[in-house]
Structure 1
Amino acid sequence: MPYRTEIKVRGYHLDLYGHVNNARYLEFLEEARWNMMELHGDLEWFMQRRYALVVSRIDIRYKRPATMGDLLVVETRSGEMGERHVIVEQKIVRADNGKVVAEAEVTVAVVHPETPGALPMQGEIAERFAQLVGEH
């Protein structure tokens, strides 16, 4: 089961057409990723080690508009793990009818200020992400 984050659409989220602006979905997705890491307790573990989670790619597929007052649920789960990245799978659905508003695959890498490039997804780093798949 994915981690769930609720977001209510407010007026400042909207574009001139009364729909949620496409750039706001990036913020909704980011809010949900932070929520997943905070709820799981891993955010503090990463921060204590000076590891940063950085986004290297986002693929968003917009399905239908969201409008003022909609309650959205962002479902977030850790997905496929590569050599130096993990793909976080996210889906935004309307709470009232379950219809998909947008889907995204977010490629995340782990970096450290004293090491060039992305760190390998192995050892405890890989275990932390693997737990995100199995816990919810």
Structure 2
Amino acid sequence: MAHLTSIKVRGYHLDLYGHVNNARYLEFLEEARWAMIEDSGGVEWFSERKLALVISRIDIRYKRAASMGDVLLIKTRLLQLHERAGLIQQQVLRQDTGKLVAEADVTFAAIHPDHPGALPITGELAQRFELMSTESQ
């Protein structure tokens, strides 16, 4: 299963055509990722260790428009962990119909200010990501 985040579409999310602006979906997806991390206690854990999660790639696919008043349900799940990166899969659905509005694959890495580049995802860090994955279910 996935972590679920609900977002109601407001007027300031819309473009001139009355649809959610494409860039707003990136914000919705980010909000849902933060919620997943917060709900697993990860924000404090990463902060205490001076770790940050950075996005290196987002592959987003828009399927249909969302409009004012729509309630969007964002499903977020950790899909894969690799040596120095992870993959999060996200789906944006209309809550009332369950229809897919957008979907994205988000590649991320963990960094620390004292170490150049992405950190290896091993040991305690890998366990934390696994915990986020299981807490979402």
TM-score by length of 2: 0.97
Q: Is the 8 A contact 2:50 2:112 kept in 1?
A: yes
What is aligned with 1:72? 72
Question: What's the offset of the Cα at 1:82?
Answer: 1.0
Q: Deviations over 1:51-78 (max 9, x none)?
A: 0000000000101000000000011011
**Match for 1:99: what amino acid?**
K
TM-score by length of 1: 0.97
What is aligned with 1:48? 48
What is aligned with 2:33? 33
3-state SS in 2 of match to 1:96:
coil
Moved more, 122-131 or 19-28: 122-131
Runs of 4+ more than 4 Å apart: none
Where does structure 1 lack aligned partners over 5 or more consecutive residues?
Answer: none
What is aligned with 1:126? 126
Question: What's the offset of the Cα at 1:130?
Answer: 1.6
**Match for 1:73: what amino acid?**
L
Where does structure 2 lack aligned partners over 5 or more consecutive residues?
Answer: none
2:40 and 2:4 mapped to 1: Cα distance? 12
Question: What's the offset of the Cα at 1:132?
Answer: 2.5
